[in-house]
Amino acid sequence: MATVTLRNIRKKYGEVEIIKGVDLDVADREFVVFVGPSGCGKSTLLRMIAGLESITDGDLLIDGARANDIGPADRGLAMVFQSYALYPHMTVADNMAFSLRLAGVSKEERMRKVTEAANVLHLGPLLERRPKELSGGQRQRVAIGRAIVRQPKVFLFDEPLSNLDAALRVQMRIELAKLHEKLAATMIYVTHDQIEAMTMADKIVVLQGGVVEQVGSPLELYHHPRNLFVAGFIGSPKMNLLPGRVIGNTENGITVELASGNPIAVPVKGETLRGGDEVTVGIRPEHIRLSDDGEIPGTVLVTERLGGLTFLHIQVAGDQTMVVQADGDEAASMHDNVRLSVNPRGCHMFGRDGLAIEHTSRHHLIDSPAAGRRSA
């Protein structure tokens, strides 16, 4: 398989720069996911790697060799589209074999490769059907099969599951993860589905406005977002982001007064912060709980009961809403007055420039033995 390297990659349409200097290393067999809000340039970047869009500036290396000027068919990549792009008049087998036929591969060899891919994707009994006789999930598997038979160095996926219903998406997510394992292939995958990114990626690339905001493993991004954008983007429900003002700086961290009037001590290294500085405190819903002696009073606005979990949207002073993760059988309901207790070890802090302030490592939740082992 192959590595893919992007060096200061840029894309301009006329005078408008859409991709603004992206650097990225995709390792052999890595599953890399591009995420970001609509219009951030995920698909454009993928299409530039595929050779479907020209590269305005910078270098694209595939297996270490510059590929900017190599045509899409000769890059050794295969792309799977959201729309499946199957030929309606051809059978599943012919759809899968099409590129091999164009490449002059013998009939026996085509049959062998199609059968092999069909086995991997459980498409064996469907080979003689036409696309209209298939479900959405089956069509998507044919589109993936068409990529597999080419034995590409790298698979590129552009939102391949977004036309499927929720249950099928879950099933296909699992199948894609298994496929990645089985093919031991390098895969680059575009999605705006958080759960797909978190569950499938070895490495997530968060893009915004044509710029990479952060690259890291799903848990690195979840526990160590480097700025407010990533903090708000990764995680569902979102991290609570609360404005506050620094009121103290001790060796245990920084004490902040939240807009609700409550002080909270956050274990971060705030050498550069001074009393009165405006900051944002980030707290994930699982790091807040309802407790009779909690320090923050509030009123329940909405309860979202998911069965195993309940999300409570709580209005606190200062016109802020906080989302709290509670047990499935949480008794609090709409209009109840409650008190919230925050776990300071789960808190993040961001300066006025939006950048995260580093945690004092001995306190932060991610510094668990497991996390230590991974980074060792």
Ligand X SMILES: Nc1ncnc2c1ncn2[C@@H]1O[C@H](COP(=O)(O)OP(=O)(O)OP(=O)(O)O)[C@@H](O)[C@H]1O
Q: Can you tell me the distance from the alpha carbon of 218 to that of 371, in angstroms, rounded to the nearest whole number? A: 12
- Euclidean distance between the first and final Cα of the chain, in Å? 27
Q: Are 104 and 145 in contact (CB under 8 A)?
A: no
Q: Which of 41, 270, 282, 298 binds ligand X (CB under 6 A)?
A: 41
Q: Are 295 and 339 in contact (CB under 8 A)?
A: yes
192 binds ligand X, rule: CB under 6 A: yes
Judged by CB under 6 A, the stretch of 21-29, 33-41, 212-220, 226-234 that binds ligand X is 33-41
Q: Can you tell me the distance from the alpha carbon of 355 to that of 376, in angstroms, rounded to the nearest whole number? A: 25
List all residues 6 or more positions away from 360 whose beta carbon is below 8 Å from its beta carbon: 252, 253, 267, 268, 269
38 binds ligand X, rule: CB under 6 A: yes
**Helix (H) or strand (E) run with residue 342 in it:** strand 337-342
Judged by CB under 6 A, the stretch of 34-42, 85-93, 160-168, 278-286 that binds ligand X is 34-42
Write the DSSP assignment of 138-171 as a string of letters. HHHHHHHHHHHTT--SEEEEESTTTTS-HHHHHH
| Closest C-alpha among 314, 321, 322, 259 to residue 285 | 322
User: From the CB of 9, what's the least distance to ligand X, in Å?
Assistant: 13
Name which of residues 223 to 262 contact ligand X (CB under 6 A): none
User: From the CB of 193, what's the least distance to ligand X, in Å?
Assistant: 10
| Closest C-alpha among 266, 223, 227, 226 to residue 245 | 266
Tokens (6 digits) for 138: 């089956």
User: From the CB of 205, what's the least distance to ligand X, in Å?
Assistant: 12
Q: Which of 40, 198, 230, 234 binds ligand X (CB under 6 A)?
A: 40
Q: Which of 5, 31, 35, 36 binds ligand X (CB under 6 A)?
A: 36
43 binds ligand X, rule: CB under 6 A: yes
User: From the CB of 201, what's the least distance to ligand X, in Å?
Assistant: 16
282 binds ligand X, rule: CB under 6 A: no
13 binds ligand X, rule: CB under 6 A: yes
Q: Which of 18, 92, 254, 283 binds ligand X (CB under 6 A)?
A: 18
Alpha carbon of 154 to those of 65, 116, 169, 302: distances in Å? 14, 19, 22, 45
Which one, 43 or 199, has the nearer CB to ligand X?
43
Alpha carbon of 63 to those of 3, 76, 211: distances in Å? 5, 10, 24
51-70 footprint of ligand X as x/- string (CB under 6 A): --------------------
Q: Which of 4, 26, 33, 44 binds ligand X (CB under 6 A)?
A: 44
194 binds ligand X, rule: CB under 6 A: no
Which one, 95 or 208, has the nearer CB to ligand X?
208
User: From the CB of 238, what's the least distance to ligand X, in Å?
Assistant: 18
Instruction: Using the CB atoms, write b or e for 36-52: b if 16+ within 10 Å.
Output: beeebbbbbbbbbbbbe
Q: Which of 8, 12, 23, 39 binds ligand X (CB under 6 A)?
A: 39
Q: Can you tell me the distance from the alpha carbon of 2 to that of 63, in angstroms, rounded to the nearest whole number? A: 5
Which one, 39 or 275, has the nearer CB to ligand X?
39
Interface with ligand X (CB under 6 A), residue total 11
User: From the CB of 1, what's the least distance to ligand X, in Å?
Assistant: 25
- DSSP-derived secondary structure letter, 358: P
Which one, 148 or 190, has the nearer CB to ligand X?
190
**Helix (H) or strand (E) run with residue 175 in it:** helix 166-183
42 binds ligand X, rule: CB under 6 A: yes
User: From the CB of 34, what's the least distance to ligand X, in Å?
Assistant: 8
* Interface ranges with ligand X (CB under 6 A): 13, 18, 36, 38-44, 192
